[in-house]
Structure 1
Amino acid sequence: MPELLYPLDSSKRFTDQKFVGHNRWHPDIPAAVTVRPGDEFRVHVREWFDGAIHNDDSADDVRNAPLSTVHCLSGPFAIEGAEPGDLLIVDILDIGPVPQEDSGPLAGQGWGYTGIFATDNGGGFLTEHFPDAYKAIWDFSGHTTTSRHVPGVKFTGIMHPGLMGTAPSAGLLSTWNAREAALIATDPERVPPLALPPEPRDAILGSLTGAEFDRVAAEAARTAPPRENGGNQDIKNLTRGSRVFYPVFVDGAKLSVGDLHFSQGDGEITFCGAIEMGGFIDLRVDLIKNGMQLYGVTENAVFMPGNEGPVYSEWLAFSGTSVTLDGEQRYLDSQLAFERACLHAIDYLTNFGYSREQAYLLLGAAPIEGRFSGVVDIPNSCATVYVPTAIFDFPITPTAAGPVRIDPGIGAPRTAR
């Protein structure tokens, strides 16, 4: 096992640990640990809400989830010799739930959760159709999972970090804040908002204190979206065996990681659409000097997917086009096409006894494949959602006999807006 360089104690809050991480992006957050090119090391990672979501049959915690506190990131890790313009190589050697703790109150201790967030508290990809808060708890057994809230399914998780990236430079941070502020200004009262501006409230900034903390808290970017530094990309294929190449914008690179997922469908469509957990990740780092110029990788991460994960060979796929539910034609709107494909899959699964919310939670958590299948044939884009049939305890493909009806169990807990 690689050396544990960033330990966390499950009995303590994120801010009470030996190493205090961070929940904002800023170049002046001090590195917590320094490593060398070629080093392999283990990192403990806190669940993104620091224990605010509970293993119970209520969605009140999802309805009231404190979005200003996320994400709980481990790091930053300074890499000796890293300079702006380099490419940082990060190999994901292993990943999993909280080690040796298969029960407890924290996600990752033998269980995880998926949430549909209320429209006025973050929303989600289909928030216009699902405005209220819902939750599903998933129990882990090795690499597989089941849920009392979505019965009839069992699948192998593709474990991955939802969020990993390097620190922005001061100039890049200023660019982020300016362009996102301009977007917010186009509709400042929108719910959910178009973007999240800097928010000093609940900021966690490593070892910073006093006036320096206040300055950085006022400038630091929220960790919600993916950006040029990687960040919250939610790519389910960044699993064991993956190699990622991150642009380096500051001395030391300042790599951070968090938001571990036991499983996720492409798109993480419910916003908290993965199976969220705390746990560990083993990493190896290296550098390509001047790699950003050598390969033209200046504003995005490049990665080689891992070669592990469930192998599904049979799928039921659903398509959608860029036409609204009201019949309005949109021009090559691929986002709308993917939305329609997801809605078609959700509506289809209700034929077997699931509620629409159970089906929505399932598509966020299970290893579905989402694809933009056609983006050139005016006026309609075509998007597709592939659902692996083997995850179900019953047949879901159409037959002349009609759909099998299952017992949907207690259903997904709901809390109204």
Structure 2
Amino acid sequence: MPRPVFPLDSSRSFTDQQIVGHNRWHPDIPAQVHVKPGDSFRVDCREWFDGAIRNDDSADDILNAPLAGVHVLSGPIAVSGAEPGDLLIVDILDVGPIPQEDSGPLAGQGWGYTGVFATRNGGGFLTEQFPDAYKVIWDFQGGTATSRHVPGVAFTGIVHPGLMGTAPSHELLGRWNAREQALIDTDPQRVPPLALPPLPDSAILGSLSGADFDRVAGEAARTAPPRENGGNQDIKNLTKGSRVFYPVFVDGAHLSMGDLHFSQGDGEITFCGAIEMGGFMDLHVDLIKGGMQTYGVTENAIFMPGNTDPQYSQWLAFSGTSVTLDGEQRYLDSHLSYQRACLHAIDYLTTFGYSAIQAYMILGAAPIEGRLSGVVDIPNSCSTVYLPTAIFDFDVTPGPGGPHQVDPGQGVPKASA
């Protein structure tokens, strides 16, 4: 096992650990750990809500989830010799649930969860069709996930970090805040909001204290979106065997990671849409000096996908175009066409006896493939959703006998308010 450099004790909260991480992006958050190019090491990661979500049959914890405090990240980790303009090479040697803890109250101890946020608390990709809060619990056995809330489904997870990235420079942070505030200003009362501005409330900033804490808390960027530094990209194929090339914006690079997922469908369409969990990452780092200019990677990491994906060979694909549900034509709107493809998949699965929310949860958690299939044929963009048929314990393809009827069981818990 690689040397542990960022250990977490499951019996203690994130802010009561030997090393305290952070939940905001800012160049002045001090590095908690120092490593050298060529080092391999282990990092423990806490589930993104730090234990606020429980293994039960209620979705009230999702309804009241403390979004101001996410994501709890392990780091920053300083890499000796890293300078602005370099590329940081990060190899994911291994990633998985909390080791040797197969049961317990924390997601990652033999279980994880998928949630749909209520519209007022962030919503999801299909929030107009699913405006309420829901939760599904998934149990892990080996590399397979099953759920008492979605019967008839079992799939191999593609375990990955939803979030990993380097710290922004002061200049880059300023650009983020300016452009996101400008977007908010176009519709400041929108629900859910167009973006999330800096928020001192619930900020965790490593070892900072006093006036430095107050200043950084008022400037630091929230971790919800992906940005030029990587961040919350939610790429399911960024997994064991991946090699990532991150732009370096500050001395030491200041690498951080968290938001581990046992599995996820492309797009993480329910927002809390992966199977969320805590766990560990084994990493190896190196540097390409001056690599940003040499390879033209001035923003946004490039990566080599992992090599341990489950081998599904048969798929059922659904397509959608950029036409709204009430028949309005939109011009090459790929966001809309992917929504329509997902809704077509949900409609199809309900003919087998699943509720619409059960079908939505399947698309968020199972390793579906989402693709832009046509982006040039005006006026319609075409997007497709590929559903692996082997995840079901019945034949999910069309046939002369009609759809098999699954027993939906107790169904998906919905929040009480």
**TM-score class, shorter:** over 0.9
Inter-partner Cα distance in structure 1 for 2:346 and 2:181: 35
User: Is 1:20 matched up with 2:51?
Assistant: no
Give the Å deviation of 1:392: 0.1
Residue equivalent to 1:349: 349
Match of 1:375 in 2: 375
CA distance in structure 1 between the partners assigned to 2:409 and 2:196 by the alignment? 37
Residue number in structure 1 paired with 2:54:
54
Partner of 1:163: 163
- Offset, 1:309: 1.7
For 1:373, what is the secondary structure of its paired residue? strand
Deviation at 1:416, TM superposition (A): 5.1
Partner in structure 2 of residue 340 of structure 1:
340
Deviations 1:363-414 (A, max 9, x none): 0000000000000000100000000000001111000110010100000000
1:197 CA displacement: 0.2
Q: Which amino acid aligns with 1:311?
A: Q
Partner of 1:408: 408
Kindly report which structure 2 residues correspond to 1:210-359, keeping only aligned pairs within 5 A, or say none. Answer: 210-359=210-359
Instruction: State the identity as a percent.
Output: 80
Q: For 2:11 and 2:259, locate their aligned partners in 1 and report how far apart those are by CA, in whole Å.
A: 19
CA contact (8 A) 1:33 1:75 kept: yes
Per the alignment, residue 98 of structure 2 pairs with 98
Gapped runs of 5+ residues in structure 2? Answer: none
Distance 1:294 1:88 in 2: 13
Q: How does 1:77-92 map to 2 (within 5 A)?
A: 77-92=77-92
Give the distance between the partners of 2:167 and 2:317, measured in 1 at CA: 39
Mapped partners of 2:182, 2:118: distance in 1:
25
Q: Aligned to 1:339, what secondary structure does the other structure show? A: helix
When the two structures are superposed, what TM-score results if normalisation uses the length of structure 1? Answer: 1.00
Q: 1:118-158: per-residue Cα shift (whole Å, max 9, x none)?
A: 00001111001100000000000011010000010000000
Q: SS in structure 2 opposite 1:136?
A: strand
In 2, are the aligned partners of 1:132 and 1:416 still within 8 Å (CA)? no
Alpha-carbon separation, structure 1, partners of 2:416 and 2:67:
18
Corresponding residue number in structure 2 for 1:142? 142
Partners of 2:108 and 2:19 lie apart in 1 by: 20
1:74 and 2:74 matched: yes
Question: What residue identity is the alignment partner of 1:84?
Answer: P
Cα offset for 1:349? Answer: 0.3
Distance 2:15 2:347 in 1: 43
Distance 2:281 2:210 in 1: 32
CA apart distance, 1:283: 0.3
2:351 match: secondary structure? helix
Q: Separation in 2 of the partners of 1:20 and 1:176?
A: 25
Match of 2:391 in 1: 391
The residue correspondences of 1:187-198 to structure 2 (distance < 5 A) are 187-198=187-198
Q: Which runs of 4+ in 1 moved over 2 A?
A: none
CA contact (8 A) 1:55 1:137 kept: yes
**1:18 corresponds to which letter in structure 2?**
Q
Distance (whole Å) between structure 1 residues aligned to residue 83 and residue 127 of structure 2: 42
Residue deviations 1:142-177, cap 9 Å, x none?
Answer: 110100000100000000000000000000000000
Distance in 1 of aligned mates of 2:51 and 2:381: 40
Return the alpha-carbon distance in structure 2 between the equivalents of residues 405 and 31 of structure 1. Answer: 55
In 1, the alpha carbon distance for the partners of 2:406 and 2:241 equals: 38
Find the aligned partners of 2:128 and 2:178 in 1 and give their Cα distance: 28
CA distance in 1, matches of 2:66, 2:131: 17
Over the residues paired in the alignment, what is the CA RMSD in angstroms? 0.5
The whole-number CA distance in structure 1 between the counterparts of 2:170 and 2:224 is 19
Question: Is residue 113 of structure 2 the alignment partner of residue 113 of structure 1?
Answer: yes
Question: Which whole-Å CA distance do the structure 1 matches of 2:214 and 2:279 have between them?
Answer: 30
C-alpha separation between the residues in 1 aligned to 2:275 and 2:134?
14
Measured in 2, the distance between the counterparts of 1:286 and 1:155 equals 34
Find the aligned partners of 2:48 and 2:67 in 1 and give their Cα distance: 10
For 2:339, the aligned partner's letter is: E
What is the rounded CA distance, in whole Å, between the counterparts of 1:47 and 1:122 in structure 2? 18
Q: Give the residue type in structure 2 aligned to 1:201.
A: D
Taking the aligned partners of 2:345 and 2:135, their CA distance within structure 1 comes to 19
Amino acid at match of 2:211: A
SS of structure 2 residue aligned to 1:221: coil
* Corresponding residue SS for 1:341: helix
Q: SS in structure 1 opposite 2:175? A: helix
Partners in 2 of 1:122 and 1:343 — Cα distance?
A: 19
- How has the CA–CA distance of structure 1 residues 63 and 282 changed in structure 2, closer, same or farther, with 3 Å as cutoff? same
**Does the Cα contact within 8 Å between 1:184 and 1:194 map onto a contact in 2?**
yes
Post-superposition Cα deviations, 1:230-288, rounded to whole Å, max 9, x if no partner, equal 00000000010000000000000000000000000000000000000000000000000
1:75 match: secondary structure: strand
The amino acid that maps onto 2:184 is I
Q: Secondary structure at the match of 1:149?
A: coil
* Paired amino acid for 1:134: Y
Query: What is the match of residue 6 of structure 1?
Result: 6
